[in-house]
Structure 1
Amino acid sequence: MIDFLKKYKAFLIGFLIIVPLFILLDYLNFLNIPNDQPVEVIVITVFWALVIALPIHNYQYLKRKKKAVFGIAVLFVLLFITVLIDSFMKLPDNPITFILLMIFWCGLAYFLVPNFIKKYWKFIALLYTPLLLYFLYLRLFSGDLEAYLKVKQETPFYIFFIPIPIFFFLWVFEQWKWIQELKKEKSKTELSLLKTQINPHFFFNTLNNLYALTVKSSPQAPEVILKLSDMMRYTIYDGEKETVKISEEIAYLNNYIELHKIRYRKSVEITFNHNIGTNLNIPPLLYIILLENAFKHGIETLAENAFIHVNLYDNDDFIYFEIENNFDPNEITNSKGIGLQNLKRRLSLLYKQQHELNIDITNNIYKTLLKIPKHA
């Protein structure tokens, strides 16, 4: 429930803005809030709170969607023109103004919640078309202006706003349903990711090396056993957690690197620099796929002068993980590994496009940058 409230705090902000604003406008006589029509006041308050909340809630979406921002700007120009027309004509409940306002609100809703509008447009039309026709009938065909105003006084006009809370609660239900499906999908993806985090060949190779070290009674054998044990514990137990300390992830990556170093009998340069606050929390096993690929498609393909440079650092808002390695261009493959596909899907589920994963291949140098927000 707390996560749900955090996710939709924009709607609380909308009410915290609109309620004091209405009270202030009423106090300054710019707005007349009737005391004898509580339902209408509540419905209108909810409506304007939603108008404020939706752009806040969809801020990240609007940042990425320039067409949507342009469309909304055009709609607000239309709103300005509508206000001018209404001021110029000075007709109570001007039908032209009413229709233009409906176009404005429908267009704004489409740009802010396009999937919802596309899914329920028939239901929306079913509710609003009769209301629009009813209004036009009363305004244009029920007699002169005085007759219309008399009918309006006797008619509960808040019925025109009743569909708004209906659509709001329907939208909330859709979001709740989406969150449940997302949790389910995330669990499946996490399980699949966990199964493919570490290439089984790595464990087999490490065990083979451990066997050789044991036969030789090498002093490195206990160290290898300890590192492998720590990695397996982290993968099995910490891998199921939502987040871990970044210091634990660093230790895990260091163990992985050290176990690989023991295997090689060729010129290999591996550096891992981490200049970052160790108390930060991140999802577990987030970087191992990228590191594993650097070994698998880099060092493994070269006979000599192989290198992997890893950098982990942060700034005020983001955590950066960079890997640069060389490879043999003749050994490169076009096949997309399931590990990388799983990682991309997991990042999408965790950060909802607030992250960046950039891969650059220049000559025989492979560079990867993963940028994630500190507070998702």
Structure 2
Amino acid sequence: MKQTLTSARRPLEALIHVIGWGIMFGFPFFFVERENGNINWMAYVRHSAVPLSFMIVFYVNYFLLVPRYLFQSQNKRYITYNILLLCAIGLMLHLWRSLTFDPSFVPKHRSGVPPGWLFFVRDMLSLVFTIGLSAAIRMSARWTQAEAARKEAERSRSEAELKNLRNQLNPHFLLNTLNNIYALIAFDTDKAQQAVQELSKLLRYVLYDNQQTYVPLGKETDFIRNYIELMRIRLSANVQMTTQIDIQPDSQTLIAPLIFISLIENAFKHGISPTERSFIHIHLAENDTEVICEISNSNHPKNITDKSGSGIGLEQVSRRLEILYPGQYTWQKGISEDGKEYKSRLSIRVKDRY
């Protein structure tokens, strides 16, 4: 990716250089006398020595001095070699002007010519500016490449971490579901068989359909419905279960797969008691800008001997949200003051649709 971006940028950089130097070498035309519409090319060649010296200083710094010394933190050598370069270029400019000086180059309408040292100082300051410009451009390009490499490395790391989280989530989901089916076998084998059939449908989605970073919300909602129906099989009469899904079946809003399932799993894990009245309320909705998952359930904390689930689901949800939706979600969750109800409200701002 980095090589592709660099290769694509090179023609543009070359074009900018060509245009820039074309403008620089066009300036001498403004200082050349024209007689009868003809350009004095000897005068143009004499004046072109200045932009040519700028070009030499620029590219000696751009390709040699800046990478070899400034990038290697050898500042003293960099300054020393530039001083020597300035002296050499300044001497050559002085000799060139002396050798090519012709009184006829001086426009007749001008009453006097400024002293030669003034031109020398002007050219030296311009050369110093050119050195600084060359260093700034080269260092800016290096910073841009380093920033692109850093972002690419961070993106690769995030993708690897996300893939690892997803690989952890699939066994976690399967373990929780198998625990539920195992509990069903003890008191209702028919329901347990039905649960195995429902589980096969869910596993097809978990193992094959959710390998992309994002999936259509309608497809994810179908998976959630199937999962809730599977969990509903083992509920007893003292559990009040309500679901409200305000999402179109063909919704093409892109959402991270299995992002809500851990919240629902958590409700079934902590919201049901075998002896006390319990409730679980699930509400999924979508509007123009966000997808909302609201869950409230009775709070029945598991004791330390309960092994139903590894307890990593909510941690994964939090980490995946930070990777996939940084700054684009709000998640409010917590237990009521009396400790009898747990509420979770996750809102994700989404824009992409098929």
Q: What interval of TM-score do these two structures reach, taking the shorter chain for normalisation?
A: 0.5 to 0.7
Given the superposition, is the C-alpha separation of residues 185 and 309 from structure 1 closer, same or farther in structure 2, using an over 3 Å criterion? same
Matching of residues 36-185 of structure 1 within 5 Å? 36-37=23-24, 126=73, 148-155=121-128, 156-157=130-131, 158-161=133-136, 162-185=138-161
Question: Is the Cα–Cα contact under 8 Å of residues 278 and 298 in structure 2 kept in the other structure?
Answer: yes
Matching of residues 274-285 of structure 1 within 5 Å? 274-277=245-248, 278-285=251-258
- 3-state SS of paired residue (1:196): helix
1:367 corresponds to: 343
Letter in 1 for 2:270: H
Equivalent-residue separation in structure 2 for 1:331 and 1:374 (angstroms): 38
Equivalent-residue separation in structure 2 for 1:288 and 1:132 (angstroms): 62
Letter in 2 for 1:258: E
Report whether the alignment pairs 1:356 with 2:330. Answer: yes
- 3-state SS of paired residue (2:284): strand
TM-superposition CA deviations, 1:117-154 (whole Å, max 9, x none): xxxxxx8894889989989xx9xxxxx99764331234
1:169 offset after TM fit, Å? Answer: 1.6
Equivalent-residue separation in structure 2 for 1:311 and 1:372 (angstroms): 14
Equivalent-residue separation in structure 1 for 2:227 and 2:173 (angstroms): 12
1:235 offset after TM fit, Å? Answer: 1.8
Question: Is the Cα–Cα contact under 8 Å of residues 181 and 192 in structure 2 kept in the other structure?
Answer: no
Equivalent-residue separation in structure 2 for 1:153 and 1:224 (angstroms): 82
Given the superposition, is the C-alpha separation of residues 319 and 169 from structure 1 closer, same or farther in structure 2, using an over 3 Å criterion? same
Q: Identity of aligned pairs, percent?
A: 27
1:307 offset after TM fit, Å? Answer: 0.9
1:247 corresponds to: 218
How many positions carry a matched residue from both structures?
255
2:177 corresponds to: 202
TM-superposition CA deviations, 1:12-55 (whole Å, max 9, x none): 9xx9xxxxxxxxxxxxxxxxx884349xxxxxxxxxxxxxxxxx
- 3-state SS of paired residue (1:343): helix
Question: Is the Cα–Cα contact under 8 Å of residues 180 and 231 in structure 2 kept in the other structure?
Answer: no
Letter in 2 for 1:184: A
Report whether the alignment pairs 1:345 with 2:319. Answer: yes
TM-superposition CA deviations, 1:158-197 (whole Å, max 9, x none): 2242311121122112222222222222222221222223
Given the superposition, is the C-alpha separation of residues 357 and 128 from structure 1 closer, same or farther in structure 2, using an over 3 Å criterion? farther
Report whether the alignment pairs 1:297 with 2:270. Answer: yes
1:307 corresponds to: 279
Question: Is the Cα–Cα contact under 8 Å of residues 270 and 301 in structure 2 kept in the other structure?
Answer: no
Greater gyration radius: 2
Matching of residues 249-288 of structure 1 within 5 Å? 249-277=220-248, 278-288=251-261
- 3-state SS of paired residue (1:175): helix
User: Mean alpha-carbon deviation: is it higher for 265-274 or for 177-186?
Assistant: 177-186
Equivalent-residue separation in structure 1 for 2:333 and 2:272 (angstroms): 18
* Greater RCO, 1 or 2 (C-alpha within 8 Å, sep 6+): 2
Question: Is the Cα–Cα contact under 8 Å of residues 270 and 302 in structure 2 kept in the other structure?
Answer: no
Given the superposition, is the C-alpha separation of residues 129 and 192 from structure 1 closer, same or farther in structure 2, using an over 3 Å criterion? farther
- Which stretches in structure 1 are left out of the alignment for 5+ residues? 6-11, 16-32, 39-122, 139-143
1:306 offset after TM fit, Å? Answer: 0.9
TM-superposition CA deviations, 1:35-85 (whole Å, max 9, x none): 4349xxxxxxxxxxxxxxxxxxxxxxxxxxxxxxxxxxxxxxxxxxxxxxx
- 3-state SS of paired residue (1:197): helix
Q: Alpha carbon RMSD of aligned pairs, Å?
A: 4.0
Match of 2:209 among 224, 233, 238: 238
1:330 offset after TM fit, Å? Answer: 9.2
Question: Is the Cα–Cα contact under 8 Å of residues 194 and 235 in structure 1 kept in the other structure?
Answer: yes
Instruction: Give 1 or 2: higher helix fraction.
Output: 1
Given the superposition, is the C-alpha separation of residues 337 and 145 from structure 1 closer, same or farther in structure 2, using an over 3 Å criterion? farther
2:106 corresponds to: none
1:368 offset after TM fit, Å? Answer: 0.7
Question: Is the Cα–Cα contact under 8 Å of residues 286 and 292 in structure 2 kept in the other structure?
Answer: yes
- 3-state SS of paired residue (1:240): coil
1:355 offset after TM fit, Å? Answer: 2.0
Given the superposition, is the C-alpha separation of residues 34 and 125 from structure 1 closer, same or farther in structure 2, using an over 3 Å criterion? same
Q: TM-score, normalised by structure 1?
A: 0.56
Given the superposition, is the C-alpha separation of residues 204 and 361 from structure 1 closer, same or farther in structure 2, using an over 3 Å criterion? closer
- Which stretches in structure 2 are left out of the alignment for 5+ residues? 13-19, 26-69, 87-116
Equivalent-residue separation in structure 2 for 1:358 and 1:332 (angstroms): 26
